[in-house]
Structure 1
């Protein structure tokens, strides 16, 4: 049975062989460790993601998101309350707004961190370039410009660890996660008081006030579960998306040659393919409102369901040579940003930031290549990325 491979360790180390077998043998499979059905085929993921009448956001206290983020949060909400909150979140990251500031915000940040490593001729591109670019850019947008990069990176790594600790239940991982949440609440509690007194242009301020009648604001306790979602997904995704794409590019001579020949023209295609190839956010949760049969499996009312975005993005029925990174493949929509009504608010900003980071990296680091003496590493399944990407270039 394909379920034999469905273990926490296998998923954490490399979920893709597990997903490939599940798609063939058990496309809807119960993962006992997290008490949820994995839906792994593209068409079935579309069915669950588009059928709001049957599959809605999960607010179960048993889910790891409840333990880590708190409830309710933007991922667990629906209806008018969710729409109102999304209005506050979406304002600063909608396309029309992003186009007014992304170049002036993102390109100087990217070049600042490239400048810091340029003369060395070698670096871990994830830890020393793409993660710092991502956390600084999104951190500044949120309103966390006064918080150092190391702190921001520590926050999202600790929260990520908590989300993926549902099987192992390692006390040390929970301790780091809980401490990060306490630190976030302490820092943002002070920001909350300031933003209530004097609203500003930060995303945090918009979440406090946006989508509400004039003069009203959301309570601190009500918005912090959603802010933790934004901190994890927002700080992490652009950086890991760029790292995943770079790993794919540098792992193939033809892809490397194409990227070097036209960084500006290829950067967005490369970033999008990186998101498909290794989805930074691997699953999105739902709950069944009633009994439903999918791919021959009966899902009972009240069951937790995981739309496995990472698996859908490698479904052989949708993409030729789906396991390979190919920025030149025929363009089709992927599932890395999820499904409405919880489609990622920051998708346009993520793609713009990733494009700029890749463009500047391949423009400014001549003959960029993987370091043959140091291994790369990837980990995770709820959130996955190339966590270490040692590289060299001609300094």
Structure 2
């Protein structure tokens, strides 16, 4: 299938990539997307091959990719070897399973309950913008060290950066919003970085500045900002959209919604994890072919930009039964919404914990939670995808 003769367009991917991915898996599992000049890898098995071969498919440091303009270079996603491992020490310091288990409930649950209390008496809300996104940005911002930045600003930042990443039509207004967000982020973070450079604290910013460095040395503002933009976009977005996506899946089936409402503590984590598989908040991870390589009958040239389509792998019919359905009782199988090592998402434990708590408290507190029929659910994006408008009702 030639990309020019298929459904493979930027508009179709942004509106709903899953029918496009299904066709690619059937007809052209390795396909060149002309709009971005990257080879899309869509089948589970082939994604595993590319993801596991770090020596052959290393991180993409190409300045032609949108990540370069949005995040800046080099960043944690474009680095490899000792430099990457050293930087990951700072990022991962407070994000290990043990560390997260020690603080997440005391941090996240009061935030979740506070936002639920704001909407509880209303009986209706867009659960994404009024609950799950605010929970996500407020919790992650606290971990990062941005407690003083308001919710609206944080949300606008990650939506603007996200827009730049998915701007396949090169819309100047989208780029202007992205560039403006970058300038605001830099202006806010510069004094914070200067402060923690002299007076380290327990925030993620401080760890990124200091951890893994020789004694008496610290990373500069210019060195860490590309990586901080990566963290801001992925970190602020993923828990909230993961929870919204899972909530939508549950609310499509009254029996599944009732099951979680009856046992939120026992089923919320399973629901969140199935939501990550069903609609992956981060749907693509880029790679660069270090040499010519044949994959599924297609030769990828040396230097080719390769996109592992995590969202497509998570719906591969050869791995999952009825993969297009959200199934709370689906047999447990690993998904790849968090990517592949060594660039596996640092925030996996924090994201899963926030998502679990958010769904647990929402389905416990919002009685008879159900979809509203007053307007349609809106879902957008392909590199980053989420339920943007989740209109819901409950018995207030």
After TM superposition, is the score higher than 0.5? Answer: yes
Correspondence list, 1:344-363, <5 A: 344-363=345-364
Give the corresponding residue for 2:295.
Answer: 294
Give the corresponding residue for 1:39.
Answer: 41
Residue number among 52, 64, 86 corresponding to 1:84 in the alignment: 86
Q: Do structure 1's residue 247 and structure 2's residue 248 form an aligned pair?
A: yes
Distance between the aligned counterparts of 1:158 and 1:55, measured in 2?
29
* Aligned-partner SS, 1:285: strand
Q: Do structure 1's residue 174 and structure 2's residue 180 form an aligned pair?
A: no
Q: Do structure 1's residue 143 and structure 2's residue 145 form an aligned pair?
A: yes
Q: Would you identify which runs of 4 or more consecutive aligned residues in structure 1 move more than 4 Å?
A: none
Distance between the aligned counterparts of 2:99 and 2:42, measured in 1?
35
Distance between the aligned counterparts of 1:327 and 1:195, measured in 2?
43
Distance between the aligned counterparts of 2:165 and 2:54, measured in 1?
25
Q: CA deviation at 1:2?
A: 6.5
* Aligned-partner SS, 1:82: helix
Correspondence list, 1:65-80, <5 A: 65-80=67-82
Q: CA deviation at 1:261?
A: 1.5
* Aligned-partner SS, 2:232: helix
Give the corresponding residue for 1:208.
Answer: 209
Distance between the aligned counterparts of 2:328 and 2:52, measured in 1?
27
Q: Is 1:92–1:98's contact at 8 Å kept on the other side of the alignment?
A: yes
Give the corresponding residue for 1:263.
Answer: 264
CA-atom RMSD in angstroms? 0.7
Distance between the aligned counterparts of 1:373 and 1:353, measured in 2?
29
Distance between the aligned counterparts of 1:229 and 1:52, measured in 2?
20
Distance between the aligned counterparts of 1:205 and 1:198, measured in 2?
9
Correspondence list, 1:80-119, <5 A: 80-119=82-121
Give the corresponding residue for 2:223.
Answer: 222
* Aligned-partner SS, 1:92: coil
TM norm structure 2? 0.99
Distance between the aligned counterparts of 1:256 and 1:114, measured in 2?
18
* Aligned-partner SS, 1:394: coil
Q: CA deviation at 1:254?
A: 2.1
Runs of 5+ unmatched residues, structure 2: none
Q: CA deviation at 1:213?
A: 1.8
Q: CA deviation at 1:108?
A: 0.2
Distance between the aligned counterparts of 1:374 and 1:259, measured in 2?
24
Q: Do structure 1's residue 62 and structure 2's residue 55 form an aligned pair?
A: no
Distance between the aligned counterparts of 1:323 and 1:203, measured in 2?
36
Q: Is 1:2–1:22's contact at 8 Å kept on the other side of the alignment?
A: no
Give the corresponding residue for 2:330.
Answer: 329
TM norm structure 1? 0.99
* Aligned-partner SS, 1:126: helix
The aligned length equals: 394
Residue number among 6, 10, 13 corresponding to 2:12 in the alignment: 10
Over residues 96-129 of structure 1, what are the superposed CA-to-partner deviations in whole Å (9 max), with x where a residue is unaligned? Answer: 1111100000000000000000000000000000
Runs of 5+ unmatched residues, structure 1: none
Q: CA deviation at 1:257?
A: 2.1
* Aligned-partner SS, 2:93: helix
Distance between the aligned counterparts of 2:215 and 2:127, measured in 1?
45
Correspondence list, 1:229-244, <5 A: 229-244=230-245
* Aligned-partner SS, 1:5: coil
Q: Is 1:242–1:271's contact at 8 Å kept on the other side of the alignment?
A: yes
Give the corresponding residue for 2:160.
Answer: 158
Distance between the aligned counterparts of 1:139 and 1:205, measured in 2?
13
Q: Is 1:2–1:21's contact at 8 Å kept on the other side of the alignment?
A: no
Distance between the aligned counterparts of 2:247 and 2:294, measured in 1?
40
Q: Is 1:287–1:304's contact at 8 Å kept on the other side of the alignment?
A: yes
Distance between the aligned counterparts of 1:44 and 1:5, measured in 2?
21
